[in-house]
Amino acid sequence: MSERVRRQIPELGYVEFDQDRSKDVQFGDAFRPPWVDVTIVDPGAQCEMTLRLEHRNKIPACTAIKIRSTDPAWSITGKELHAINLDELIRYVFQAVSYRVVDRNGTRTIVEGKIDGPPSGWGSATGRKGRGVRAITPEFLEEVAQVYRDNVGGNPTQAVARGFGVSLRMAGVYVQKAREGGLLPQTSRGKKSA
């Protein structure tokens, strides 16, 4: 039976998910829950926002947004939607709930993701902290290539960025390294190939 977990995100709200590790989705060396509910509570905005983030074709995506007024004298306007940097939020949340299984001297240890504060662009003075250096192993690049191939009909590099919780620029680096390793064919500028 799975356990529902709630983790606070300073200055943003909280996330909830079922901690049933048998159902987690693997991306390279990281694992994450298949869905997360994010509740953003901003007393200054007089509203509460709940988002459902799920994996679609192994790519994290927002599948539902609910906004409700917390003040009966106040109505919701477009500025609440404009305040959300959805791609950044998705990356940040799935990074925060990800974990790795590390093998040290024959002992397997689970290393949890960190929630240091809200993602950049959410009013934090320090912004989002990086996740550190990721080991780019052949297995990791195979996973990058698979995500790219699974999404070649759309925007495959953006799918890699969302899937691995990195910027579009870093996703481009991963894709290029997969190409250099022979896992993806070389392309002509402006033409996708997998």
Which residue, chain included where needed, has tokens 């074709």?
A: 57
User: Per-residue pLDDT for 43 more than 60?
Assistant: no
Position 44 scores a pLDDT of: 60
Mean pLDDT of the chain: 78
Closest alpha carbon to 147 in 62, 27, 66, 20: 27
Q: Across the chain, where does the E strand assignment appear?
A: 3-9, 13-19, 25-27, 30-32, 35-42, 47-56, 59-69, 99-104, 107-112
Position 123 scores a pLDDT of: 39
Task: Classify residue 43 by its DSSP letter.
Answer: G
Which tops the pLDDT comparison, 45 or 93? 93
Provide the residue count of the chain: 194
| β-sheet bridge partners, residue 21 | none
Which of 35-39, 54-58, 81-85 shows the highest mean pLDDT?
Answer: 35-39
Whole-angstrom distance, CA of residue 81 vs CA of residue 71: 17
Which tops the pLDDT comparison, 64 or 159? 64
